[in-house]
Structure 1
Amino acid sequence: MKLKHYLFVSFLLIATSTIYSQNDKKLYEIIIFKWTKVENKDVMKVIKIDSLGNIFLSKQKTEKKVELKNFTKKINQFILEEKLEKVPGDNNPPRMSLIPAEGKQTIAISIVFLDDYRKETNLANNTYYSWTKTGLEINSEDYLIFKYLNKTDINTIKSLLK
């Protein structure tokens, strides 16, 4: 009888750990796009974080990185808890971000998983998860994603978006 209980508990632990590990999908890239409008001028910044944790600013590799294991876990959590929109892959022109009003900013975050990137090699745009907020005050740095990241990664991203 005890053996059956041990086997049952072992099965539950294995099943739970398998389900949990499936939730942490590996990242291919995350793009954070900030668009501000100041004195009728558009100021745009693009940060890309690749599958190795390297951070790029406007296509130029920086010396900065994120701690990939924790970052991946937190990004997966962000997607699930905030119920980010899943945009299917296609060959259409990329979606445009909302144009901010004068003195405001728009933040758009796109997250592509490695599995989708590998499966969709024949598509111009891979499946991605999207979060956008427009109408933010120009000096606001209170982006929803920061609720999930560690302090070091938050500070790194904030410094690149300034």
Structure 2
Amino acid sequence: MHEQRLSYKEASPEAFKALLHTEMQVHKTGIEESLLELVKMRASQINGCGYCLDMHSKDAVAQGESLQRLVLLSAWREAPSFYTERERAALAWTEAITQISTHGAPDDLYNEVRKHFDEKALVDLTLAVIAINSWNRMAIAFRSTVGDYVSPHPKK
């Protein structure tokens, strides 16, 4: 187990507030919370962010997400009946944006995701992906302690 290098929240409250402001905007977009949690989980899986996986799995379960859907998330393409078309489009977009240096954001994927998200919603979804990737990078870089997170959401 790695020891936390530093608390980025304490080291630079301004930087933390900037990320928090972006996160608050994500939650004002109208995108359903269940979808946002799936997006956060999938990006965190790709990036290998234990802290964020711990946090978002706890939040998702507290908000009523099934354990089975969370367990299957890394293999969502092989379990299509567990996710809606809208969720699958968002997950594919999340993967592309998270790994944008590898394959970019291809036209066929853009066209598919646009079937499920209007222009504003797609920009908002992209902001959600950008936000979680930022949080992942802070948590990984400074080795945020995994396992201590307690969800503020009352269990459904």
**TM-score, structure 2 length as denominator?**
0.25
Flag the structure with larger Rg.
1
Kindly indicate whether structure 1 or structure 2 has the higher relative contact order, using CA contacts under 8 Å at least 6 residues apart.
2
TM-score normalised by the chain length of structure 1: 0.24
